[in-house]
């Protein structure tokens, strides 16, 4: 998917040279002088050819029309791909490059769920506000370690308490394990805020991508589910490029940007994440990708037509190659009957709640033009506004997926990412002051 085809050939060229280097050194003459000289020359050759291969790979990556700073976007993708070759551990190691924090950092558990707590270095008499953060990663990767640079920056810049939840991934346990973990941890914290000198009326929940799904789902549970009536309510919910539904993978954004690696998130990655979160296997990926997993009756239902209608997407976003749906008369009835309970469960897909969203806390929703999940966020904005919920919708015309989290610092930071994070932090600061 990522490393094959014409573009990937340059990437593999660098990898082949590395392999040749290992073979040559393994069988080089015994003479130490010859060995050292050969090692030096081959090392230079490896770096040169490898660098050329990576640059050629980056050069050939297609970029969506109009995407600003295309070279930075390409380099972002290359850095993620190289790190991805070495697995999750390298991401976590690289995340620690930002050095020691001045925060008091504690790894502990809330009701059996691992969490990381960031607290101000000095205690005060007044109670502090807090943000509970749920990381993204398609329910199947990333961790509190990977997101440490962001959560530490958030805690430090705003001088607040931050709770980062290390919920179980789909590689460990399928739905609803992740949202159950998050709900348990958030409810426990809201009931024990005094133990951390936190004001229970000033707690915001925030998540990006799959974490946005979990943040929205937890918010709905705590607010609308009678079993949580006695739990202190959240002050606000922040959803950054959230993935909120698995019914329609043919929205305008999926059609327009689903094939671009340089938009950071591809359609096939999102579909695979949903399918593996639900079933533990990629077997149904092609079925989901073509919307064959929902029946004709489901596509004609009031909920589907009202919530997922492409008429809810502003016309300015419906640019080529977008084509409006011409028919709803397709799909697998039997498969849908098997899956519909989960597909319509708001704990799985918060956008699909069959009922009013009235009473939910204020929402701050971030969407980006060049993001396949853009329309999920827009659909939810529309639903919340219709329910009378106060919504701040921040759309980035020049943005890619979750850039305020992943593309706002470091050598490959993009202007839109920096700007988006500044707006995000300003909203949090202003909201927690009131």
Q: Are 157 and 83 in contact (CB under 8 A)?
A: no
401 is catalytic: yes
The DSSP annotation for 332-383 comes to: -HHHHHHHHHHHT-TTT-GGG-SS--TTPPEEEEEEEEE-TTHHHHHHHHHH
164 is catalytic: no
Reading phi first (left if > 0) and then psi (alpha if -120 to 50, else beta), residue 359 is in: left
Q: Are 135 and 402 in contact (CB under 8 A)?
A: no
Residue among 145, 401, 407, 420 flagged as catalytic: 401
Q: Is the dihedral of CA 131, 132, 134, 135 positive or negative?
A: positive
**Residue 152: other Cβ atoms inside 10 A:** 23
- Residue 236 β-bridge partners: 204, 362
CA–CA gap between residue 314 and residue 255 (Å, rounded): 15
The candidate with the shortest Cα–Cα distance to 167, out of 123, 91, 238, 218, is 218
Residue among 371, 375, 376, 398 flagged as catalytic: 371
Which residues have CB under 8 Å from 222's CB, separation 6+? 183, 186, 187, 190, 228, 231, 233, 234
- SS3 state of residue 112: coil
Q: Are 118 and 164 in contact (CB under 8 A)?
A: yes
209 is catalytic: yes
Residue among 209, 289, 301, 407 flagged as catalytic: 209
**What residues act catalytically?**
209, 371, 401
């Amino acid at each position: 998917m990522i490393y094959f085809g014409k573009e990937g050939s340059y990437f593999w060229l660098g990898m082949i040279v590395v392999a040749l280097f290992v073979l040559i050194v393994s069988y080089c003459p015994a003479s130490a002088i010859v060995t050292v000289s050969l090692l030096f020359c081959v090392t230079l050759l490896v770096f040169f050819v490898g660098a050329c291969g990576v640059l050629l790979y980056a050069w050939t990556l297609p970029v969506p029309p109009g995407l600003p700073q295309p070279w930075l976007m390409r380099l972002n993708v290359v850095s993620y791909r190289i790190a991805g070759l070495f697995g999750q551990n390298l991401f976590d190691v690289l995340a620690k490059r930002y050095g020691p924090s001045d925060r008091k950092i504690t790894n502990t558990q809330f009701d059996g769920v691992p969490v990381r707590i960031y607290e101000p270095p000095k205690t005060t008499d007044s109670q502090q506000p807090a943000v509970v953060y749920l990381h993204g990663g398609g329910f199947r990767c990333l961790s509190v370690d990977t997101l440490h640079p962001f959560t530490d920056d958030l805690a430090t810049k705003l001088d607040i308490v931050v709770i980062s939840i290390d919920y179980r991934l789909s590689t460990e346990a399928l739905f609803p394990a992740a949202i159950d973990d998050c709900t348990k941890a958030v409810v426990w914290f809201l009931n024990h805020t005094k133990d951390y000198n936190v004001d229970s009326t000033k707690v915001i929940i925030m998540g990006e991508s799959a974490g946005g799904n979990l943040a929205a789902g937890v918010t709905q549970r705590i607010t609308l589910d009678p079993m949580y009536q006695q739990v202190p309510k959240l002050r606000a919910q922040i959803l950054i490029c959230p993935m909120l539904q698995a019914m329609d993978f043919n929205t305008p954004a999926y059609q327009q940007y689903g094939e671009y690696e340089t938009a950071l998130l591809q359609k096939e990655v999102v579909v695979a994440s949903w399918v593996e979160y639900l079933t533990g296997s990629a077997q149904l990926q092609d079925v989901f990708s073509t919307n064959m997993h929902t029946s004709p009756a489901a596509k004609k239902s009031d909920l589907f037509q009202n919530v997922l209608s492409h008429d809810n997407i502003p016309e300015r976003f419906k640019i080529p190659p977008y084509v409006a749906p011409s028919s709803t008369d397709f799909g697998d009835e039997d498969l849908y009957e098997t899956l519909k309970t989960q597909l319509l469960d708001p704990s799985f897909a918060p956008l699909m709640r069959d009922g009013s969203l009235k009473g939910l806390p204020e929402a701050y929703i971030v969407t980006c033009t060049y993001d396949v999940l853009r329309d999920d966020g827009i659909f939810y904005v529309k639903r919340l506004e219709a329910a009378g919920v106060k919504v701040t919708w921040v759309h980035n015309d020049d943005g890619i997926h979750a850039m305020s989290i992943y593309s706002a610092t470091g050598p490959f930071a993009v202007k839109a990412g920096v700007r988006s994070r500044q707006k995000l932090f300003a909203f949090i600061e202003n909201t927690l002051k009131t």
